[in-house]
Structure 1
């Protein structure tokens, strides 16, 4: 039985989510189409910039992302309550940045209309804290531009988007690593610094000295930035680097002590963690986390159980 997206995404409490959108066509979303030889690489740049831009307008922080040839992944933190603290002027400015006007005069008139309508302000506050609206503003413009470029019409995305709730820090960290290692698993590259259009490459570029290495892991972009992960940049990069080497050279890359200590602190079993990192998304249904939290979420959704219990029993100590 399917679960409504509004039941999965808590509109009243902050939370972490993993979102995926896949192209419906056989042709590539981005990169070079092997059949036609046409290059769509510019779309990867477009969607990467769009993710970062929208995260500064919605109450969302981006922790990991990767843009592949026919799909993309995002790990984000949503705070639906943050817009309640924004001023009326800030709400209007953010909304007008999401839906820009063609002229300054029209923009001024629209802003005045928004500020003079309490109902409209309340509606836009709710939307600025909505995951569905964020994903809509990310997907819809790209679909229109791509259809124009391909000189066709019709459905571009396979679905609106697929989301998974990440129930604890271990689930968030595992999903971040899963997303960052997409190009490595796809055998596009063996090096993190060559994983183009990923958050891990952006993190590596932001590391300028030892001080930045020991800082706490923060979002790569966003407008809230209240939540941090209880792990340093160094430990996360070392963990992902070891996992990438272990994927490329199975049974040859021994786990560093620092990475082992991180997994132990999060109550994750290193051997099963690496195995599940190959197919984390498909091992769980709409939630990723320890057994007890999955069962609690199932009870909240009036379900007897949710897919992923057996995987969670292996992943968590």
Structure 2
């Protein structure tokens, strides 16, 4: 079946959440160890993660979850045109020039734009308007991300031609159930594939980054007292407090929406590491990691440990039985190929251009019928 035109469900002017996937051409192992040749290209996963950190700091898009495997990667992205509208023309120009820099340093990283470079954008109203739209456009994020990866890999391999399949896939997530299930599906990719045994061992995933961030900080060793004062280092500079160390997940969207007490509105991030400080799930990071572990123990064959007898509270609140939940997490890609959500929610949606209903696979309707 031919893919739908992406404009039927993607609108950069709306706040939307998507599950995006890019696969290498012919599914070759360009990011891992080829089981036939033994050639190990796993170090390239770090390239992708570095780009995700850079894009999350500049685009008007929240990075919710990610996982990078040997021949494809998964992203959960939330477009934030509402945040982009809070940026003035200078900020729009600066962010675009950090994504598409005019100048780079010796390491190939973008250099801060000069005033003349900023002026070429901010003094051109039509260009500013177009760049504002691009900054919250999922297609521009994926286009530039894949372009950078392909160019670097092809240059290293000394080849030309397609690196990725012709199109990335993007599935909009339209309700709380699909957002939660998709995030867990993305974070448990390595465990489902039997590449990792635990969340903490799931390299190059948002789950690992979040687990690192909630881990209690190691206590610094007690040094021998010196003549320096308690609040200064020997060279006179104030020491950096341990709690101000940059978190491993600082480029990711926070988990907790703080529905009852959180601030309303765009909540743009002021530190510059991500688009906004707005969460995407009604639960804490700790509870989310507990749900990941609970799900992993049920999904991964041979994983040690006792399966908890109690259903996680979030699943009880959403009315999802263990059977339905585990099926969602294990088969999310097969259950939702065009749009993701409860069947009754999908039935109420219409395509943006032609107003047609979306197709819901029979297995998806049957699965949710079991929960009724």
Q: TM-score, normalised by structure 1?
A: 0.90
User: Could you say which residue in structure 2 is the equivalent of 1:311?
Assistant: 364
Per the alignment, residue 217 of structure 1 pairs with 255
Correspondence for 1:265 among 317, 330, 350: 317
Size of the aligned set, in residue pairs, is 312
1:1-317 map, 5 Å: 1-102=2-103, 107-209=114-216, 217-218=255-256, 222-249=274-301, 254-257=307-310, 259=312, 261-298=313-350, 302-308=355-361, 310-312=363-365, 314-315=367-368, 317=372
Q: Distance in 2 between matches of 1:181 and 1:232?
A: 18
Larger helix share, 1 or 2: 1
In structure 1, distance between residues paired with 2:154 and 2:306 = 44
CA distance, structure 1, for counterparts of residue 99 and residue 351 of structure 2: 37
Deviation at 1:154, TM superposition (A): 0.7
**Cα offset, 1:249, TM superposition:** 3.9
The CA distance in 1 between the partners of 2:69 and 2:277, in whole Å, is: 26
- Give the match's secondary structure for 1:6: helix
> 1:163 aligns to what SS in structure 2?
strand
- How far is the alpha carbon of 1:314 from its aligned partner? 2.2
Change (3 A) 1:205 1:106: closer
Q: Which segment is superposed worse, 306-315 or 8-17?
A: 306-315
Please give the alpha-carbon distance, in whole angstroms, between the structure 2 residues aligned to 1:241 and 1:127: 37
Q: Which consecutive residues of structure 2, in runs of 5 or more, have no partner in the other structure? A: 105-110, 218-246, 248-253, 258-272
8 Å CA contact 1:288–1:308 kept in 2: the answer is: no
Determine if contact 1:60/1:77 at 8 Å carries over to the other structure.
yes
Q: What's the CA shift string for 1:155-185, capped at 9, x where partnerless? A: 1111331001111111111001101111111
Q: TM-score, normalised by structure 2?
A: 0.77
Shift of 1:12: 2.5
Looking at structure 2, the residues matched to 258 and 53 of structure 1 have their Cα atoms a distance apart, in angstroms, of 38
Once residues 144 and 36 of structure 1 are traced to their aligned partners in structure 2, the CA distance between those partners, rounded to angstroms, is 23
1:81 Cα deviation from its structure 2 partner:
3.0
Shift of 1:140: 0.3
**Partners of 1:299 and 1:157 in 2: how far apart?**
27
After superposition, the C-alpha distances for 1:206-243 in whole angstroms (9 at most, x for unaligned) are 00349x9xxx7259x73122243101112211111111
The answer as to whether partners of 2:17 and 2:174 remain within 8 angstroms in 1 is: yes
Structure 1: runs of 5 or more not aligned: none
After TM superposition, give the deviation of residue 108 of structure 1 in Å: 3.7
Q: What SS does structure 2 have at the residue aligned with 1:184?
A: helix
In structure 2, C-alpha distance between the alignment counterparts of 1:230 and 1:305, rounded to whole Å: 27
8 A Cα contact 2:94 2:113, kept in partner: no
| RMSD between superposed Cα atoms in Å | 2.7
